Structure 1
Amino acid sequence: MTDDRSQETDQDEATLGRIETEVALLMRLGEATRRATGTAEHRVLDRAAYVILRYLDSAGPQNVSALAARLNLDGSTVTRQVSAMQRDGLITRTPDPADGRGTVVSATLTGRQRMAAVQAARTRLYGDLLAAWSPDDRDSLADLLHRLNEALDARNRRR
Structure 2
Amino acid sequence: MPTSQDMTTALDPGLLDALQHQVAVFARRAEQTRLGGTGQLRNSMDRAAYLLLNRLEQEGPMGVKALAAGMGIDSSTVTRQVAPLVDTGLVKRTSHPEDGRAVVLQLSPRGLARLEEVRSSRRQLMVEVTEGWTPDERESFCMLLTRFNSALSARQSGLPAQPEAGASRAEPSTEA
* TM-score, normalised with respect to structure 1: 0.83
Deviation track 1:22-70 (CA, whole Å, cap 9, x = no partner) reads 1111110112233886314423x32211110011111111210111122
1:156 corresponds to 2:156: yes
Deviation track 1:91-143 (CA, whole Å, cap 9, x = no partner) reads 11123356665421110010011111111101100100101111111110000
CA change 1:14–1:96 in 2 (3 A) is farther
1:106 corresponds to 2:113: no
Fraction of identical pairs, as percent:
39
Structure 1 window deviating more from structure 2 (11-20 vs 112-121): it is: 11-20
* AA matched with 1:62: M
> Which residue number corresponds to residue 65 of structure 2?
65
> Which is richer in strand?
1
* AA matched with 1:105: L
CA change 1:35–1:126 in 2 (3 A) is closer
* AA matched with 1:65: K
* TM-score, normalised with respect to structure 2: 0.76
The secondary structure found in structure 1 opposite 2:32 is helix
Structure 1 window deviating more from structure 2 (149-158 vs 46-55): it is: 149-158
What is the aligned length? 152
Asked if structure 2 preserves the Cα contact closer than 8 Å seen for 1:34 and 1:42, the reply is no
Runs of 5+ consecutive residues of structure 1 not aligned to the other structure: 1-5
CA change 1:154–1:121 in 2 (3 A) is same
Greater Rg by CA = 1
The secondary structure found in structure 2 opposite 1:29 is helix
Asked if structure 2 preserves the Cα contact closer than 8 Å seen for 1:64 and 1:102, the reply is no
CA RMSD of superposed structures (Å): 2.4
> Which is richer in helix?
1
Runs of 5+ consecutive residues of structure 2 not aligned to the other structure: 1-5, 160-176
